Amino acid sequence: MKDLVYVLTDPVGLHARPAGDFVKAVQKFACKVTVEKGGRKADAKRLLAVMGLGAKGGDVITMSFEGEGEEEACEIMKAYLEEHL
Amino acid sequence: MTKLQGTRVFGGYAIGTVSVFDNKKEDVERRHAADPSQEEARFRNARERAKEELQALYEKTSASMDDESAKIFEVHQMMLDDLDFEDAVMEGIRTEGINAEYAVLQAGKNLSEVFAQMDDEYMRARAADLLDISDRVIAILTGRKRKELAPTDEPVILLAEDLSPSETVQLDRSKILAFVTRFGSVNSHTAILARSMGIPAIIGLDYDAEADGQTAIVDGYGGLLLTDPDEETLAQYKEKKEKDDAARALLLELKGKENITLDGRSIEIFANIGGVSDVEDALQNDAGGVGLFRSEFLYLGTEDYPDEETQFQAYKTVAEKMAGKKVIIRTLDIGADKRVSYFDLPAEENPALGYRAIRICLDRPEILRTQLRAILRASAFGNIAVMYPMIASVWEIQRLKEVFEEVKGDLADEHIAFDENMEQGVMIETPAAVLISEELAQEVDFFSIGTNDLTQYVLAADRQNPRLARFSDAHHPALLRAIRMTVESAHRYGKTVGICGELAADTLMTEFFLTLGVDELSVTPSMVLTVRDAVRKTDLRA
């Protein structure tokens, strides 16, 4: 299990379209991926669940990776978040 | 004549014929399906077709409008692919053994409910998207043609239940005078569209479908729909509309233009705001920034001190909406004529010369600390500066700067982001501040002259007393000299100076301010373009 803590810098955060792109990126991994904000956890492969977190700029999110390729997935998402969110 | 009240989404007036768009959704039949795998296949097939439709809509919209408006159809495609949506539909088909269309309806409703109950207004508006995507799939499954808006020859006032994102995009925009919907939210697609088209829009108005074809007036400012108006009302609104149109014409003509005199001297024109909702007006009127964000709205009308988070959200929202343009937040100016019970302030003989603003903060630094923390945190999200009111002595600003540094230190220790270089300024509104403006200029980054209080203090004339009107002359030479002295002190130390009182919007004064080299005028949003017009007609060589 790998954890990744990140503070969203894009003011709009994980809303509609950015959330869609985020989910698409996560769906490429075989491992189980969750994203948590303020004690609420969502399956990171599910768009509506991710949008439902209502994560905005300034919010801290924690992503957890578990299973096949978790190390690599975590690295890729770290770079993804830094570039896009 | 009937008069109905709704909620304003976008201001403006419209007079014309009503067209009622009856877009109530039809009932979907619930059936037991003999073969679940066949229903599954029907759903998957319909979903693919829905995505194709959405792709076509995306392309059409990005060509006819803009990418920003078209994005919604991309999001709809993503939503259709969402696993929660799919799971919910499959659950209905497999477990309950129902037909695909009913399973889609149920899934869309349930998920939309989840969004409708969220705290965030933006997320609540997504509920409409879920209903829209499920309705699209259902229409394909049942072979129903989704209702189209009938084309009209003459522009109309459109009345509808609510308009879905895909319906709004298919509207012929040149044929719509105003939108009135029974449902919807201020963030719904109808609302967003109305704002981008600049036409009046009202939501939550329980209209009568019989109004179809009647003459009506839409008062977007008041959120009113007047059907079958009498002659007198019609004449009244025609006049209002003419004035409004003239103001908009000025807006169109001057929007995006520089604030520059005929001989090339430029000046910033900012807006004064008193709450988060005023930002829209500031942007609409093309303000270059917010020169005075009064923070009192957070303290007034509440039972207790506003907490850091509430303040942070308000400041952050404004900073974000201004998108990099400067926002000067004035720390609380409670006291004098603005009383708040939980501050527990004693009654005073002479409140204007009394215990107010920074004087309270210096005694009770915890109030200021909370506000400064919220302002500093918000500074990570835009271009924010802070300004202290009612300064009369150098020690006051020195003490405030110490508190400011302490708060910055705390935030740094807690690894909370803020703008390291956030500017601090003072209001110049007491004669004392004018007379020591050279010393003050060495302590701060900028000045803002509050002409309302400065007038009453320089002329010793209470501005609340109507009998003193002729004694509180804002063009009094004493006041003009005070302004000149302040500007000169600021510039001697390379600091900027703005004017944020009523006088800033007085176009008789524009030339005087330009001659002095005032850097910025901050006025009520509706005056921004009037002042711009005055600046552009000024020639300092003459």
Shared domain for B163 and B52, answered yes or no, is no
| Strand pairing category for B423-428 and B446-449 | parallel
Contact by Cβ (8 Å): B222, B202: no
Q: Is the pLDDT of residue B191 over 80?
A: no
Shared domain for B386 and B409, answered yes or no, is yes
> Touching check for B121 and chain A: CB below 8 Å?
no
Per-residue pLDDT at B98:
93
* Smallest Cα distance from B419 to chain A, Å: 13
The mean pLDDT of B233-256, rounded to a whole number, is 89
Shared domain for B459 and B411, answered yes or no, is yes
Query: For residue A27, what are its two tokens?
Result: 């769906």
Q: Is B512 exposed, middle or buried (0-12, 13-18, 19+ CB in 10 A)?
A: middle
Shared domain for B6 and B68, answered yes or no, is no
CATH number for B502:
3.20.20.60
Shared domain for B406 and B448, answered yes or no, is yes
Tally of domains within chain B: 3
CA distances from B507 to A40, B329, B446, B511 (A): 55, 25, 23, 8
Short-list B527, B503, B528, CA closest to B513:
B503
Query: For residue A58, what are its two tokens?
Result: 């300034």
DSSP states along B269-296: EEEEESSTTHHHHHHHTT-SSEEEEE-G
* CA A5 – CA A28 distance, rounded (Å): 20
Residue B498 in any domain: the answer is yes
Residue B90 in any domain: the answer is yes
The mean pLDDT of B78-82, rounded to a whole number, is 90
Q: Is the pLDDT of residue B428 over 90?
A: yes
Which phi and psi (to 5°) does residue B11 adopt?
-75, 180
Alpha carbons within 13 angstroms on the beta-carbon side of residue B505 total 18
Q: Is the pLDDT of residue B331 over 90?
A: yes
Q: Is the pLDDT of residue B337 over 70?
A: no
Tell me whether residues A51 and B126 touch, CB distance under 8 A.
yes
Q: Is the pLDDT of residue B184 over 80?
A: no
Nearest by CB: B82 against A7, A46, A57: A46
For the domain A2-84, what is the CATH code?
Answer: 3.30.1340.10
B188 — pLDDT class (breaks 50, 70, 90): low
Per-residue pLDDT at B189:
65
Mean pLDDT: which of B72-86, B326-340, B455-469, B507-521 is highest?
Answer: B507-521
Shared domain for B391 and B474, answered yes or no, is yes
Q: Is the pLDDT of residue B296 over 80?
A: yes
Q: Which of A33, A34, A48 to mutate to test the interface with B (most CBs of B within 10 A)?
A: A48
> Touching check for A55 and chain B: CB below 8 Å?
no
Q: Is the pLDDT of residue B289 over 80?
A: yes
Q: Examine the fold and report which residue of B124, B142, B160 is the final residue of a domain before the chain moves on.
A: B142
Q: Is the pLDDT of residue B324 over 80?
A: yes
In chain B, which among 315-334 make CB contacts under 8 A with chain A?
316, 320
Contact by Cβ (8 Å): B61, B169: yes
> Touching check for A2 and chain B: CB below 8 Å?
no
Per-residue pLDDT at B365:
93
* Smallest Cα distance from A9 to chain B, Å: 8
> Touching check for A16 and chain B: CB below 8 Å?
yes
Nearest by CB: B320 against A11, A24, A49: A11
Q: What is the span of the domain harbouring residue B137?
A: 36-142
Q: Residue B357 contacts by C-beta under 8 Å, 6 or more apart in sequence?
A: B331, B332, B333, B334, B335, B336, B388, B389, B390
What is the share, in percent, of chain B residues with pLDDT greater than 70?
96
Tell me whether residues A46 and B118 touch, CB distance under 8 A.
no
Per-residue pLDDT at B309:
94
Query: For residue B322, what are its two tokens?
Result: 């201004």
Q: Examine the fold and report which residue of B142, B177, B205 is the final residue of a domain before the chain moves on.
A: B142
The mean pLDDT of B357-369, rounded to a whole number, is 94
Contact by Cβ (8 Å): A21, A84: yes
Per-residue pLDDT at B483:
98
Shared domain for B104 and B166, answered yes or no, is no
Question: Which amino acid, one-letter code, is at B138?
Answer: I
Question: Which amino acid, one-letter code, is at B129?
Answer: D
The nearest alpha carbon in chain A to B126 belongs to: A16
Q: How far is CA B408 from the centre of its chain?
A: 29
Shared domain for B385 and B488, answered yes or no, is yes
Domain boundaries, chain A: 2-84
Shared domain for B292 and B314, answered yes or no, is yes
pLDDT, tens digit (0-9, with 9 covering 90-100), for B508-518: 999 999 999 99
Per-residue pLDDT at B471:
87
> Touching check for A42 and chain B: CB below 8 Å?
no
Q: Report helix, strand or coil for A4.
A: strand
Q: Which residue has the tokens 């509609």?
A: A16
Shared domain for B349 and B435, answered yes or no, is yes
Shared domain for B106 and B220, answered yes or no, is no
Which phi and psi (to 5°) does residue A80 adopt?
-60, -50
pLDDT, tens digit (0-9, with 9 covering 90-100), for B126-175: 888 888 899 999 999 988 877 766 667 789 999 998 888 777 766 777 88
The mean pLDDT of B193-204, rounded to a whole number, is 81
Q: Is the pLDDT of residue B496 over 90?
A: yes
B108 chain-A contacts, CB cut-off 8 A: none
Look over chain A and give the mean of its residue pLDDT values, rounded to a whole number: 88
Shared domain for B135 and B161, answered yes or no, is no
Per-residue pLDDT at B336:
65
Look over chain B and give the mean of its residue pLDDT values, rounded to a whole number: 90
The nearest alpha carbon in chain A to B129 belongs to: A16
The mean pLDDT of B26-49, rounded to a whole number, is 91
Q: Is the pLDDT of residue B17 over 80?
A: yes
Short-list B285, B279, B213, B283, CA closest to B247:
B285
pLDDT, tens digit (0-9, with 9 covering 90-100), for A2-39: 898 998 888 778 877 788 889 989 999 999 999 999 88
Contact by Cβ (8 Å): B345, B335: yes
Q: Residue B463 contacts by C-beta under 8 Å, 6 or more apart in sequence?
A: B352, B452, B453, B455, B456, B472
> Touching check for A52 and chain B: CB below 8 Å?
yes
Would you please indicate which residues of B are annotated as catalytic (active-site) residues? 189, 500
> Touching check for A46 and chain B: CB below 8 Å?
yes
Q: Is the pLDDT of residue A84 over 90?
A: no
Q: Examine the fold and report which residue of B183, B209, B234 is the final residue of a domain before the chain moves on.
A: B234
DSSP states along B350-369: -GGGSS-THHHHHH-HHHHH
pLDDT, tens digit (0-9, with 9 covering 90-100), for B33-44: 889 999 999 999
* Smallest Cα distance from A23 to chain B, Å: 9
Q: Is B467 exposed, middle or buried (0-12, 13-18, 19+ CB in 10 A)?
A: exposed
The nearest alpha carbon in chain A to B318 belongs to: A11
Any idea which of B14-18, B62-66, B207-211, B420-424 has the lowest mean pLDDT? B62-66
> Touching check for A49 and chain B: CB below 8 Å?
yes
pLDDT, tens digit (0-9, with 9 covering 90-100), for B81-123: 988 899 999 999 999 999 999 999 999 999 888 887 776 667 7
Q: Is the pLDDT of residue B393 over 80?
A: yes
Contact by Cβ (8 Å): B304, B310: no
